[in-house]
Amino acid sequence: MLPGFVNGHHHVGLTPVQLGSPDMPLELWFITRMVTRNLNIYLDTLYSAFEMIASGITTVQHIHGWMPGTLSEVEAKAEQVIRAYEDIGMRVSYCYAVRDQNRLVYQADDEFVASLPKELQGPMKRWFERFKLGLDDAMGMFESMHARHNNKPRVKIQLAPANLHWCSDKALTVLSQTSKKYQVPMHMHLLETSMQKEIRLAARRMHRGRIHRPLRYARSAHDAGARRLAQRKGHRAHGGGRRMCVSQLLLQFPASLRHRALNTSRPRGSTPR
């Protein structure tokens, strides 16, 4: 006899591979996800819930990825996710992954669009414009969903800064303050690829601890190990006050380093397809 397992990090039902997006280094994989087909999010969530229950999982941390649409449209999709878990009877801790910068590459969105050939700038700009949920909207969605769901026995609403390079200092500060105000934990992705590691190391060298400081007062929680790990690895700020935002760091790397980071993103020992 075993207790129900907890899935501490979950996104979707049908996998990207099932939807035609091949397994690639993250930075290239994002591009393939731009043209993925739209799914009924309620049925997709039910599908993954069936699979989890069959595997002995009764509790899930659902991190809702970046979604196109207005505040009301994104919130409606979030409600469908929660309704699916309620209908099947699983426990869920729901959070919407907040990102407000560098949303496709490790560079400011407008700078990235301007760097493209003229014939691609218009389509790329229109693609970004589909995502209308700003930082204030995301925090408003958290507050309204927290008020509706957080007192339920099988549903909790928490916070999720998507990753350090996807969140501005302002976003990290607001998320930290909201975590403390509502006494909810935070769930954050950390290093996922070699390129992100290079950016992280460069940030530490140029201004140690700057990207961790906004999270200092976030609520501590047993299921927020990734956030605590980030804090433990933080350092006092120094370096003569030199400041450089994460979105600028990649631009400091020579082309050979960017190429190496992409080519070493796959697990060691694996062969290219």
In this predicted structure, what is the pLDDT of residue 185? 94
The model's pTM is 0.74
Q: Which residue has the higher pLDDT, 250 or 129?
A: 129
Torsions phi, psi for 136 (to 5 deg): -60, -40
Q: What is the DSSP letter of 71?
A: H
In this predicted structure, what is the pLDDT of residue 145? 97
Q: Give residue for tokens 């649409």.
A: 69
Query: Average of pLDDT values for 73-88?
Result: 97
The pLDDT tens digits of the residues spanning 199-226 come to 777 666 654 444 455 555 555 444 344 4
Count of alpha carbons within 13 angstroms of residue 102, beta-carbon side: 22
Handedness of CA 14, 18, 20, 24 (dihedral sign): positive
The pLDDT tens digits of the residues spanning 93-141 come to 999 999 999 888 888 999 999 999 999 999 999 999 999 999 999 999 9
The distance of Cα 54 from the centroid of its chain, to the nearest Å, equals 27
Structure tokens at 225: 């190990």
In this predicted structure, what is the pLDDT of residue 134? 93
Residue 155 near residue 62, CB atoms below 8 Å: no
Measured from the Cβ of residue 77, the count of other Cβ atoms closer than 10 Å reads 16
Q: Which residue has the higher pLDDT, 247 or 199?
A: 199
Residue 26 near residue 79, CB atoms below 8 Å: no
Measured from the Cβ of residue 199, the count of other Cβ atoms closer than 10 Å reads 24
Nearest to 162 by CA among 100, 70, 105: 100
